[in-house]
Structure 1
């Protein structure tokens, strides 16, 4: 029987769906045939579960689930190097792993992220998700300290460069694609604060707090927006 991928996609995006049951269905299918369409969706579900662990404050589970997402995304990318979805979810896996790792691993994941992001952006430059991920990468590279850069140069040679302006350009593109993206308001605010533009940052913080929470990422963003409001909007 053919898989109804549209139903799987709905379950992936539905905050209330039973992800454990969905993973069992996907795993059973992979045991019959290792399909790219199943592999990248497995990565997507594991990323949802990783975000859930992040919301619950379970960092150990967050990292282990992000590693599972990476495992499936890596298989998918190797099976089809020209598939946008494979690179998209690989970027998401690497981004989450980088955010939960020490300097050495963070730089390694950052290098890998850039490779996959370049491919994804070339394949589909108007995708909101990949533009957001790329903006976050630019932000993280721009905030690397002197010691982290030296470690990176010793391990990998030349370190990729990016500025706050690069990050802002990516986040502005996201805003053009979806002005209601709550987590994008957070990233705009973060970047503007880092770039010493607190006046404009306040506007993004205040507007972001008025938007509805539609995903776990939005719930996490709302919490941080509240913290930024208390710190910068007095």
Structure 2
């Protein structure tokens, strides 16, 4: 009988773990659950259970050693040149499962086990390091523009380490979007817009079912519209909507996504007559939306997270303004005006708030 490498190792590790200190802990745990009046009888029963358990372990050990004998024969039949190319030795399996004691105790890990444990520990350590890194990036992104610049530098410095990680890629795409909004020169802005699209596309190819990936890919598509002819701009509009809706499907309680969908609806509602005619010639079903559609999404975002974004309250006011509901528009503008200015986006929204207030 032959035995696969993984099966032998798993059996060995399973025996080692259970017969170690966990058996004693198991017994103590059982005793604590029993009543004091029947303690002696319970101990006798437990002793019998332990004896039976040891008997089963002995039988399992015997089965394992029989399997190892078969494995030894299989390995012996392998040509010597193939053995030298990393085949695990029977000694490794036997040591992993042996109940023989030595100076270091009865359950010393074999080289195979020790290597595996070190690998697991290293993987956990790397994952913790990555989580801390992403946490710091997200913290900086939520801050002022200077923090966003620092986040970009940190991401660029670590790109070689995480270039195949979808969580890294969408964050780098997000940073390029932030820098795009900060820059003034058209060519520099376009460079960051293209980079944001490239990185978010990369994240999407690696892992599709992520609301963050779809969200920031949609934003990247929107960022590119300033650099596209009208036909491609409208095409991108369809793609953008699909990604926002997919992100909402994955994360329906994300206020930012509702704001984005509201912006899409408002943008379609505000299309010029020329753009609407062009869309009608390009597509069988051109994009359509109403100011009520937009308002619904903006209000839902506010319901989820009141005051989370100055621009959301600004657009609620804009919707009411379009509906000639000026008192409601003014109330939302006053509310938006009172929200803090954290970054450049807030500054632009604040200026629009002040300008619109002068009209109502």
TM-score (norm. length: structure 2)? 0.59
Match of 1:214 in 2: 342
Match of 1:187 in 2: 315
Could you report, residue by residue, the CA deviation over 1:117-165 in whole angstroms, capped at 9, with x for unpaired residues?
1211111111011111100000011112332122123333311221111
Inter-partner Cα distance in structure 2 for 1:194 and 1:59: 31
Between structure 1 and structure 2, the one with the greater Rg is 2
**Number of residue pairs aligned between Structure 1 and Structure 2:** 227
Give RMSD over aligned pairs.
2.0
Displacement of 1:223 in angstroms is 1.3
What's the secondary structure of 1:85's corresponding residue?
helix
Displacement of 1:194 in angstroms is 2.4
Gaps of 5+ in 2: 1-125
Given that residues 95 and 133 in structure 1 are in contact (C-alpha distance below 8 angstroms), is that contact kept between their aligned partners in structure 2? no
Match of 1:167 in 2: 294
Displacement of 1:103 in angstroms is 2.7
CA pair 168-80 structure 1, distance change in 2 beyond 3 A: same
Match of 2:172 in 1: 42
Displacement of 1:171 in angstroms is 0.4
Displacement of 1:99 in angstroms is 5.5
Inter-partner Cα distance in structure 2 for 1:185 and 1:108: 28
Gaps of 5+ in 1: none
Could you report, residue by residue, the CA deviation over 1:21-66 in whole angstroms, capped at 9, with x for unpaired residues?
2232242224xx411011100111111111212xxx4444333322
TM-score (norm. length: structure 1)? 0.88
CA pair 166-115 structure 1, distance change in 2 beyond 3 A: same
Displacement of 1:112 in angstroms is 0.8
- The structure 1 residue matched to 2:215, chosen from 73, 88, 96, is 88
Displacement of 1:173 in angstroms is 0.8
1:6 aligns with 2:138: no
Given that residues 152 and 175 in structure 2 are in contact (C-alpha distance below 8 angstroms), is that contact kept between their aligned partners in structure 1? no
What's the secondary structure of 1:162's corresponding residue?
coil
What's the secondary structure of 2:306's corresponding residue?
coil
Displacement of 1:97 in angstroms is 2.7
Inter-partner Cα distance in structure 2 for 1:38 and 1:21: 13
Displacement of 1:205 in angstroms is 1.4
Given that residues 26 and 42 in structure 1 are in contact (C-alpha distance below 8 angstroms), is that contact kept between their aligned partners in structure 2? no
